[in-house]
Amino acid sequence: MNKQKVELLSPAGNLEKLKIAINYGADAVYGGVSHFSLRIRAGKEFTFETFKEGIEYAHARGKKVYATINGFPFNSQIELLKKHIINMAEVKPDAFIVAAPGVIKLCRELAPQIPIHVSTQANVLNYLDAQVYWDMGVKRIIAAREISLKDIKEIKKHLPEMEIEIFVHGSMCFAYSGRCLISAVQMGRVPNRGSCANDCRFEYTLYAGNEEHGSLFRLEEEPGVGTYIFNSKDMNLASHIKEILDTGAVDSLKIEGRTKSPYYAAVTAKAYREAIDDYFADNFDADKYQRELHTTKNRGFTDAYLVHRPFEKTDSQNHAYALSKGSYEVTGLVSEDEEHFYCKYKVYPNEDIEIFTPHNTVLDTCDNEIGKVFKKDDGLYYINFKKILTDTNKELESVHSGNVNKIQLPCKLPYLTMFRIKNEEANIE
């Protein structure tokens, strides 16, 4: 069995989430600037300056950053795209993620020093298509979400030098690998140019009409079934990491979610980091990773199509709701000085709040006039504030997310450590 090194690749929707993903276990992150990225909302979170800062932050820690230029440009955008490619190359990302063959050619001409990864939007499912991209100078394919593990092995057999990246977690598209026009038809927002409105997540009312006499009847839904008729569950392959890595054919495991929360970035990076590390240590425990992943907001989980063919799946859609609330609420985030935290929800004195730490963190306990950090019988660490003091020593009765002051910690905690409390309103099954 070839136990090769495999990369964990996490989404970086902005600079904070980039840092969180890296600190919680990612080997590499991906993100973009401007509308040439397929996530316009995430693209607006980054400027060239902050993206450059993120790359420098990652490189200083031996991590990589891949820049997304995976939109499909109009003719009128090509000159602007050329400038964008040159500008992106100047901040020295570790690769460009590109979908369109013409853009691949352009990147090779304008920035030949930057490796090319072909996007999942290119829908690569077989070694013939992979060979075409390899001949164009592409270093890695990001396989279509609909690919099978058997086909991944076949591609690697024919192209052993080509890197293969697969999605293991995150949102699934109702259409084929994102090739969707629903939001373009309904909202004028084109998914393949980065502005998907997520219309497939909406609740729909169904009608039956007769064109001859103009009658229209509202169809009554079966109670409990709902009308989220396009809504796909989220991919979750954590339980199959051993099966995937046993093939020796996969080089990178990718997590979707640039527009998702910092907590999502932290939990997914940490859970999959542990899954990979435990696999190589012959200590794989799927239940452990699933417990954490189920604390995030999700649409219900499915193992998608990698280990099953699409027509064999009967659990890939969620007709009941568009997005759960998640079973935990993040209530604090430790600042860079490691002596304070920012409130993200609400914190009261004399409450035990769970501490969720970056990967491979060792905590010291403490007990003083501000509060205490301690370990419970459940094996988890908690923090309890006796006083809530701002960095200027002003005492508060409580602190809420609207308060942007830094709040003192009873003792140092690692940068980007999170405090979390159970969300009693969560609707996860």
Which tens digits make up the pLDDT trace of 81-98?
Answer: 999 999 999 999 999 999
**How would residue 226 be classed by pLDDT, with cut points 50, 70 and 90?**
low
Instruction: Encode 190-253 in three state secondary structure.
Output: CHHHCCCCCHHHCCCCCEEEECCCCEEEECCCCCCCCCCCCCECEEECHHHHHHHHHCCCCCEE
* Structural domains of the chain, ranges and CATH numbers in brackets: 7-176+231-302 (3.20.20.70), 328-426 (2.40.30.10)
Amino acid 426: pLDDT = 45
pLDDT at 230 over 80: no
For the cut 50, the answer to whether the pLDDT of residue 2 exceeds it is no
Residue 72 has a pLDDT of 87
Tell whether the torsion through CA atoms of 319, 320, 326 and 327 is positive or negative: negative
- Pairing between strand 234-236 and 301-302? parallel
Tell how far CA 362 is from the center of its chain: 25
Distance CA 295, CA 249 (A): 30
Residue type, position 21, single letter: A
Token duo for residue 233? 């569950």
Strand partners, 330: 420
Element housing 66 (H / E): strand 64-69
pLDDT for the residue numbered 208: 81
Q: What pLDDT, on the 0 to 100 scale, is given for residue 231? A: 74
Confidence class for position 7, pLDDT limits 50, 70, 90: very high
pLDDT band of residue 427 (cuts 50, 70, 90) is: very low
Query: Please, are residues 317 and 343 in contact by the beta-carbon 8 Å criterion?
Result: no
Q: What percent of the chain has pLDDT over 90?
A: 70
Q: What is the pLDDT of residues 290-317, one digit of tens each?
A: 999 999 998 889 888 898 765 565 666 6
Q: Identify the residue with better confidence: 187 or 126.
A: 126
User: pTM for this structure?
Assistant: 0.89
Who's near 389: CB < 8 A, 6+ residues apart? 370, 395, 396, 407, 408
- In this prediction, residues 236-252 reach a mean pLDDT of 96
Chain segment 336-354, per-residue pLDDT in tens: 999 999 999 999 999 999 9
**Angle, in degrees to the nearest 10, between helices 127-135 and 149-158:** 40
Q: Give whole-number Cα distances, 224 to 227, 300, 424, 428, 429, in Å.
A: 9, 15, 22, 15, 14
**3 state DSSP class of 166:** strand
For residue 305, give the nearest of 250, 233, 251 by alpha carbon: 233
Question: Under 8 Å CB-to-CB from 102, ≥6 apart: which residues?
Answer: none
Of the pLDDT bands very low, low, confident and very high (cuts 50, 70, 90), residue 39 is low
